[in-house]
A and B are shown apart, each in its own frame.
Chain A
Amino acid sequence: MQHVSPIREPLVTGGKTYHDITEDVCRQVEAKPNVRWAAALAVALVGLAIFIYSVYRTLWYGIGEWGLNKTVGWAWDITNFVWWVGIGHAGTLISAILLLFRQKWRTSINRAAEAMTIFAVICAAMFPVLHMGRPWLAYWVLPLPNTFGSLWVNFNSPLLWDVFAISTYFSVSLVFWYIGLIPDFATIRDRATGPIARRAYALLSFGWTGSAKHWSRYETVSLILAGLATPLVLSVHTIVSFDFATSVIPGWHTTIFPPYFVAGAIFSGFAMVLTLMIITRKVFYLEDYITLEHVESMNKVIILTGSIVGIAYTTEFFIAWYSGVEYEQYAFINRAFGPYWWAYWSMMTCNVITPQLFWFRKIRRSLTATFIISIFVNIGMWFERFVIIVTSLHRDYLPSSWAMFSPTIIDIGVYVGTIGLFFTLFLLFCKYFPVINMAEVKHILKSSSDVKYPKKAATMHATDKDLNSNTHHNE
């Protein structure tokens, strides 16, 4: 029997029963689209249209449509790529790492967070593919036989490691998410009244019946997938940071990058989860499942990772001075006091100072404050990548090639467009998929709801079998 402290706050409020959970989550899947949802989708579709137009301009006229120049050959594209991949990391952290840590509060947010991961990775992948200039040749990054191209791909290149890391991350996250969705699709299927809905969800549910044997295997699969996804998510942003760290550009060539990038990724991802969940819980009336306790727990993760990022910024500065390398020192002084000082200080304010407000319990538990700070973190983390990339590149070793970068309207269009793409996907997900993992919330209901269930007189079997004990005798 797992002991739950009596002072621990309930994770499901409102005296819900198993059936209430089904009703509350299936409601918006079964109902006609409501006006607010349709309005939000319309805005997102405008964003998507901007994306399509900007991509068309990029492909038809070439990369010259972007503000890149000879010195700053990488700017918004890679900034946005890293930003989106980082956002995706929170989903895997919530579903995999918190599963391994047996954090029950993950259950009502993991579904939406994982969906966010998948959509964020889709948005991220757009940038390197578009930057290729000829995306129809994107398969050249794969190790295909020589007759396809001229040579094998270069396995010593971090950019190639990225190809493997991102595609593995995407496909494993997708599988993990889908496995979790199967039992919930079965629930919707068995409630469905319309012939189309019933057939569609029957297909999606893979014929799930909820048999004890299947559940047993399902739990094993989830646990192993969580075990695989945990090092995977850490490896992905590590490899993304290698894109920079293995180069010889001052400000990039630092060993601190992998842990610093991973912390930053989790930081920005949790901020995005909060931004999305604060709205979702309100729009779909899920306040009893995504409670202030959930918001507070996520805010604690934000303050931890935000502080790690803050320490990393300081350490970078210190090491630049301590190394005695002039180029390194110049790169950092230029970041803080050079022509891009405003980007640097925006980053510092948004990432290091504002999250510190979460030390106050009142702010941690305030939805408005959390929402505003989460937006600040999203902006700050975008600036972090911009600062790292552009300020290091724009003043290279040769002063005659120093340059500034300014984005064109197409740069902005592609970026805003991916936000439109992201929200289009997310809103469709919200409408047609169960936003909350019903099976998992039902599973924790008895131990974590505000209804007190009477203790069983004979507790022969542990209700929460976290450790597999095969010593139970029936006879």
Chain B
Amino acid sequence: MNKKFILGIYDDEDVLLTAIENIRAGGTKIYDVFSPFPVHGIDDVLGIKRSRLPIVAFFAGLTGMSFALWMQIWMMGFDWPMIIGGKPHIALPSFIPVTFELTVLFSAFGMVITFFIVSKLKPSMKVNVFDKRSTDDKFVMAIEVKEGETDVAALNDLLRSNGAIEVNEKEVVK
């Protein structure tokens, strides 16, 4: 199914923020906004909720820590106990460095892998970008056109009156 979008192109992030605010206040639903760099304050005006990735990082780190402690205690204390330097078999202080490193390793990788999965980012040859200038110097606001519902001319006026330097139409083939 093909989807149609109206793209408002902006060249300044402050104008963009005000535009998003006004357009959303008027009841128009914004599909997505694309920018060449993270625009601070856009989460609030677009109503994007705070990411829960830090929670993932915490639990992944906890897993790493538990795994490291279990591994060292089991290997050194139970599977093949040896006396090394007269220390106890389970010498917790000397297990701390490896425990710390594995905590960091699991936490970082757990979070980053989750980030790629939830954002559906993966290596692929074909990338659908609405407007290629959005990775250079333009900010692109995409609004979905619903057949019979959306008044394209009115939308054009709305975007232009809110500072869009250009308004384009784009069809995305699914």
**Is B35 at the interface (CB under 8 A from chain A)?**
yes
User: Is the beta-carbon distance between A217 and B43 smaller than 8 angstroms?
Assistant: no
Binary interface encoding of chain B residues 93-118 relative to chain A, with 1 for a CB under 8 A from any of its CBs, else 0: 01101101110110111011001101
Minimum CB distance partner of B56 in chain A: A224
In B73-111, the 8 Å CB interface with A consists of 75-76, 79-80, 82, 84-85, 87, 91, 94-95, 97-98, 100-102, 104-105, 107-109, 111
- Evaluate contact between B38 and A215: CB separation under 8 angstroms: yes
Inside 8 A of B123's CB, which chain A residues have their CB? 203-204, 206-207
**A34: CB under 8 A from chain B?**
no
Contacts A22-B136, A211-B33; A172 near B105 (Cβ below 8 A) = yes
Instruction: Determine whether B174 belongs to the interface, using a CB cutoff of 8 Å to chain A.
Output: no
The complex places the Cα of A461 from the Cα of B50 at a distance, in Å, of 17
| Neighbouring B residues of A161 by C-beta, 8 Å | 97-98, 101
Q: Is B165 an interface residue (CB 8 A)?
A: no
From 216 to 235 in chain A, residues with beta carbon under 8 angstroms from any chain B beta carbon are 216-221, 224-225, 228-229, 231-232, 235
CB B2 to nearest CB in A, in angstroms, measures: 19
Q: Which of A54-62, A317-325, A437-445 contacts its partner?
A: A437-445
Q: Which of A75-83, A117-125, A152-160, A348-356 contacts B (4 or more CB under 8 A)?
A: A152-160
Q: Are A151 and B82 in contact (CB under 8 A)?
A: yes
B95 near A172 with CB under 8 A, answer no
Chain A residue nearest to B17 (CB atoms) is A461
Whether, in the assembled complex, A429 has its beta carbon less than 8 Å from a beta carbon of chain B, the answer is: no
Say whether A472 faces chain B, with CB atoms less than 8 Å apart: yes
Q: Please state if A155 and B72 are interface contacts (CB–CB under 8 Å).
A: yes
> Which of A143, A217, A463 lies in contact with B14, CB distance below 8 A?
A463
Smallest Cβ distance from A140 to chain B, in angstroms?
A: 15
Which A residues lie at the B interface, using CB under 8 A? 17-19, 22, 143, 146, 151-152, 154-156, 158, 160-161, 164-165, 168, 171-172, 175-176, 179, 182-183, 186-187, 189-191, 199, 202-221, 224-225, 228-229, 231-232, 235, 239, 242, 438-440, 442-443, 446, 456, 458, 460-466, 468-470, 472, 474-475
- For the complex of A and B, list the 5 residue pairs with the smallest distance between their C-beta atoms, beginning with the closest: A18-B137, A472-B44, A465-B40, A461-B41, A161-B97
